[in-house]
Chain A
Amino acid sequence: MSDGALQGVRLLEYGQMVSAPYCAKLLADLGAEVIKIEDPPAGDPARRRGPFPDDVPHPEKSGLFLYVNTNKLGITLDPSTPTGRLIFQRLAQQADVIVEDRPPGEMERLGLDYEALSALNPGLIFTSITPFGQTGSYKDYKCHHLNLYHASGHSSFFYVAPKKDKEPPIVGGGWVGEYDAGLMAAVATLAALMARLATGEGQHIDISKFDTMVTLERVAVSGYANNPNPPQLPGMVAGLLPSQDGHVVIVPAQDHQWDALVQLMGNPPWAQDERCRNEVSRALNRDAIQPLLEEWASQQYKEDLYVRGQELSVPIGPVRNAGEVMQWPQARHRAFFAEIDHPVAGRLEYPTAAYGFSETPWRARRAAPVLGEHNEEIYCHRLGLAAGDLARLAGSGVI
């Protein structure tokens, strides 16, 4: 069996938290060799974010760190020390790709920017991920996920329900905007690897998290750019509906899907009304129709409705929490969750990948590295340092 679509690609990650580590993880999971560089002594801040087993913080048991760092080798290195910089340069000479997320200008101050490293390794692909990119007047702005998500407009765009006035917009759950940037950076990095197959040349890639998120709402954004005052539409009927045990989401976008929903509801007389005739009339009469749908759905159970609805080809899905997703028979059948054993955190179930490759499947080759786990392997076996050097480098704060 193949060792993965990206076997042989060597990547150096100098990243923290979610975006850059997720970018590198996506490539590592498909077979690239990723060496993750963490600052001594504490390493990636994701190690301190959790979730933790029983809520007790432990740098090797953070669920966030464990998930976004699967299949990587891990070393500690402080590139701001003179020796650390030299070691970083040697690693960069052996790499195909560097993924980094330092504020604009910081890699240059370290002497480790694309210009400096491409002089040593012209084939190097250098992917920089920052909140607002390397240019523009916001480039030095601080930006957490909360700021990023709301600034990109995402919390204001509603498609299946009217926007609620006067209530604060709400940030997307988890770190979704940070994952977005990591995924888009992975797309760009693979494209640069494809370009390099033809030209032999590397290049610099500037990924702005904000640009990424704005383009993920390209239809809405383009709509406003060309018409700042679009007609406010009442929205589609159905959408989010309460059930006895939570919520379901129904999207009867096409007329045949509405007909199927009517059948699922047992053909209530009100659905024969003129107001329900087509998508436009339903939307215009949303205020009258929506309560009827809510009343019906609130007497149902979400999983039962899901199965019965899908049998009629109604686009319906129950709102599920993490545990419900993990117990979903379809996900189990597809082995979307897989156990990975970690020396400290133990055996846990992780999400794998949404793509099943017939020839180069996703594979968990190793759990996330413990801090400095591969120092000896990389520094001694790869770079040829003596074992005794490790203690000296650690003592001087280099690793």
Chain B
Amino acid sequence: MSRLPLAGVRIVDFTWAWAGPQATLLLGMLGAEIIKIESRARLDHTRLRSLMAGPTLASPDHSVIFADLNVNKLSLTLNLTHAEAVEIIKRLVKVSDVVAENMRPGVLQRLGLGYEALRAVKPEIIMLSSSAVGSTGPERTYVGYAPNFAALGGIAHITGPAEGPPTPLSGAIDLRVGTTSAFAILAALYHRARSGQGQYIDLSSTEAISAMIGDTFLEHAMNGRSPGRAGNRDRTMAPHNCYRCAEDDRWVTIAVATDDEWRALCAVIADPRLEDERFADGYSRWLNQDELDEIISEWTASRSPQEITQTLQAAGVAAMPAHDGRSLVEDPQLRERGLMEWVEHPLSGRRLLAGPPWRFSKTPAGIRQPAPLLGQHNHYVLHDLLGMPKEEIQRLVDEEVVY
């Protein structure tokens, strides 16, 4: 197999929950060795339970959410409240390239593992701290989860029905933050590869979300006006909506950008009412889209999203099913692109997981091994990497330093 893009890069990973693990998940798929620092004294809460009121887990090694977000990673258990554990981390950092963490700002410093302390051990280390609102500023100690970042960052306000409440997006918000962290770490690695210089990266989860609606702020900067919610409608395109289909709670999206696409849509629907002057050009269609949407809805209401998609795409009109989880995993595109992969986990068994989001022609990056059991790689890290004798490791286990 070809050399992976990040072969030889070692990352000491203090991240937990969703956002931080997404960063090291991507870097691990790219070939970095990810050593996750865990402890029974402070478990990653994705090991403890499933989302909200999910099933109670048989053990911290049975969580499918943890197993999904932590493929390819290694697990070292250390109780960082012991001074010896802190010293072991420093020895590990000495043979590593990157440290990533998303604890509340200040926690690692208090443990003696802040950037200054780690840089003293390894001057060219790259360290990324990801927090709710950044590790500087008056609110640096504030806490939050994905829905809070969506609210604070501005995207919740612009997502939702025109006459309804905002929408606190969630899971993907965390993964957007993590993907942003992965990008920042890669840029720092590239800089270091050419200059020898490491650095500290302070990442704000809220700002990561704001950056992905950046044009919204330009609107305010220009006009002193904040965009609101518009449901599924567009500023210029019409029709542009989500239409009810035949089966219960099934929906299809249709968007028309040009007159050619409009004529193609009319030819397919073949409803004489569409020939009306009210829909004669893009501007008229936008002004009269309520009436237009009613006519289109009548047509979609007796058809399936898949049928509509195939018919309209064949005619050159942008249409896709609005998938929910169940219909999404049945979409043939996932199979054709090989997006889901079987991964065998020693306790949760064989499960389908999403593979890498990209396709490299020469350095295929992806899932190589399942998520680690708690402390599965203690021997590898402590003995093979750090050269500690077995007796000493046993003592550390007995004293619950390795824990």
Task: From B64, B168, B235, give the contact of A161 (CB < 8 A).
Answer: B168
Instruction: State in angstroms the CA–CA spacing of A215 and B177 once bound together.
Output: 14
Instruction: State in angstroms the CA–CA spacing of A58 and B219 once bound together.
Output: 14
B52 contacts which chain A residues (CB < 8 A)?
159-160, 233, 235-236, 279, 283
A398 contacts which chain B residues (CB < 8 A)?
none
Specify the main secondary structure of chain B where it touches its partner: mixed
Instruction: State in angstroms the CA–CA spacing of A143 and B318 once bound together.
Output: 5
Instruction: State in angstroms the CA–CA spacing of A51 and B176 once bound together.
Output: 24
Choose, from B34-42, B322-330, B384-392, the stretch at the interface: B322-330
A222 touches B176 (CB 8 A): no
Contact of A329 with B by CB under 8 A: yes
Contact of A205 with B by CB under 8 A: yes
Instruction: State in angstroms the CA–CA spacing of A67 and B216 once bound together.
Output: 10
With A63-B218, A153-B325, A205-B358: A354-B208 Cβ-Cβ less than 8 Å: yes
Per-position binary interface string of chain B over residues 333-347, scored 1 when its CB falls under 8 Å from any chain A CB and 0 otherwise: 110110110000000
CB distance from B124 to the nearest CB of A (A): 11
A319 touches B156 (CB 8 A): yes
Task: From A30, A199, A222, A331, give the contact of B352 (CB < 8 A).
Answer: A222
A216 touches B179 (CB 8 A): yes
B215 touches A63 (CB 8 A): yes
Task: From B179, B216, B325, give the contact of A183 (CB < 8 A).
Answer: B179
Contact of A172 with B by CB under 8 A: yes
CB distance from B362 to the nearest CB of A (A): 4
Residue of B nearest to A137 (CB): B336
Per-position binary interface string of chain A over residues 270-284, scored 1 when its CB falls under 8 Å from any chain B CB and 0 otherwise: 000000000110111
CB distance from B325 to the nearest CB of A (A): 4
Instruction: State in angstroms the CA–CA spacing of A247 and B228 once bound together.
Output: 14
B360 touches A205 (CB 8 A): yes
A168 contacts which chain B residues (CB < 8 A)?
231-232, 241-244, 251, 322
B226 touches A324 (CB 8 A): yes
B365 touches A191 (CB 8 A): yes
Contact of B363 with A by CB under 8 A: yes
- A212-264 interface with B by 8 A CB criterion: 212-226, 228-230, 233-236, 239-240, 242, 247-249, 251, 253-254
Instruction: State in angstroms the CA–CA spacing of A147 and B255 once bound together.
Output: 7
Contact of B288 with A by CB under 8 A: no
A174 contacts which chain B residues (CB < 8 A)?
155, 158, 212-213, 215-216, 227
Per-position binary interface string of chain B over residues 197-210, scored 1 when its CB falls under 8 Å from any chain A CB and 0 otherwise: 11111111111101
Contact of A301 with B by CB under 8 A: no
A197 touches B193 (CB 8 A): yes
B144 touches A356 (CB 8 A): no
CB distance from B31 to the nearest CB of A (A): 8
B232 touches A317 (CB 8 A): no
Specify the main secondary structure of chain A where it touches its partner: mixed
B134 touches A216 (CB 8 A): no
B167 touches A170 (CB 8 A): yes
B147 touches A223 (CB 8 A): no
B68 contacts which chain A residues (CB < 8 A)?
218-219, 222
A143 contacts which chain B residues (CB < 8 A)?
318, 320
Choose, from A83-91, A343-351, A370-378, the stretch at the interface: A343-351
A201 contacts which chain B residues (CB < 8 A)?
362
Instruction: State in angstroms the CA–CA spacing of A328 and B133 once bound together.
Output: 11
With A169-B242, A319-B156: A142-B318 Cβ-Cβ less than 8 Å: yes
Residue of B nearest to A127 (CB): B358
Contact of A357 with B by CB under 8 A: yes
B249 touches A165 (CB 8 A): yes
A247 touches B326 (CB 8 A): no
Contact of A384 with B by CB under 8 A: no
Per-position binary interface string of chain B over residues 211-248, scored 1 when its CB falls under 8 Å from any chain A CB and 0 otherwise: 11111111111111111110110111100111110000
A336 touches B172 (CB 8 A): no
B184 touches A136 (CB 8 A): no
Q: How large is the interface on A (under 10, 10 to 19, 20 to 34, 35 or more residues)?
A: 35 or more
Instruction: State in angstroms the CA–CA spacing of A165 and B226 once bound together.
Output: 30
A159 touches B154 (CB 8 A): no
Q: How large is the interface on B (under 10, 10 to 19, 20 to 34, 35 or more residues)?
A: 35 or more
Residue of A nearest to B181 (CB): A355
Residue of A nearest to B148 (CB): A317
B203 touches A355 (CB 8 A): yes
A215 touches B217 (CB 8 A): no
B320 contacts which chain A residues (CB < 8 A)?
141, 143, 147-148, 150-151
User: A52, A168, A205, A325 — which one has the most chain B CB atoms within 10 A of its CB?
Assistant: A325
A5 contacts which chain B residues (CB < 8 A)?
187-188, 190-191
A363 contacts which chain B residues (CB < 8 A)?
none
Residue of B nearest to A61 (CB): B222
Task: From B214, B232, B329, give the contact of A170 (CB < 8 A).
Answer: B232
Instruction: State in angstroms the CA–CA spacing of A6 and B184 once bound together.
Output: 11
Instruction: State in angstroms the CA–CA spacing of A203 and B3 once bound together.
Output: 13
B251 contacts which chain A residues (CB < 8 A)?
150, 168-169
CB distance from A203 to the nearest CB of B (A): 4
Instruction: State in angstroms the CA–CA spacing of A334 and B152 once bound together.
Output: 15
CB distance from B223 to the nearest CB of A (A): 7
Contact of B284 with A by CB under 8 A: no
With A214-B334, A222-B353: A357-B217 Cβ-Cβ less than 8 Å: no
B214 contacts which chain A residues (CB < 8 A)?
67-68, 179, 350-351
Contact of B380 with A by CB under 8 A: no
B199 touches A146 (CB 8 A): no
A210 contacts which chain B residues (CB < 8 A)?
333
B218 touches A357 (CB 8 A): no
CB distance from A73 to the nearest CB of B (A): 20
CB distance from A206 to the nearest CB of B (A): 4
Task: From B199, B226, B227, B351, give the contact of A358 (CB < 8 A).
Answer: B199
Instruction: State in angstroms the CA–CA spacing of A41 and B362 once bound together.
Output: 37
User: B138, B212, B356 — which one has the most chain A CB atoms within 10 A of its CB?
Assistant: B212
Contact of B106 with A by CB under 8 A: no
Contact of A333 with B by CB under 8 A: yes
Q: Which 10 A-B pairs have the closest CB atoms?
A: A63-B218, A173-B158, A283-B53, A224-B325, A321-B226, A150-B322, A317-B148, A354-B207, A159-B170, A156-B324
Write 26 A-B pairs (CB below 8 A) sorted by A numbering: A67-B215, A67-B217, A136-B337, A143-B318, A152-B323, A153-B325, A159-B51, A173-B157, A174-B216, A191-B30, A191-B360, A193-B190, A205-B359, A207-B357, A207-B359, A208-B359, A240-B167, A240-B168, A242-B165, A279-B49, A279-B52, A317-B147, A333-B137, A354-B184, A356-B203, A357-B199
Beyond A141-B320, A354-B208, 15 additional contacts (C-beta under 8 Å) are A135-B337, A144-B234, A156-B325, A160-B52, A173-B229, A175-B213, A183-B179, A216-B176, A219-B69, A240-B165, A319-B168, A322-B219, A325-B210, A329-B138, A357-B188
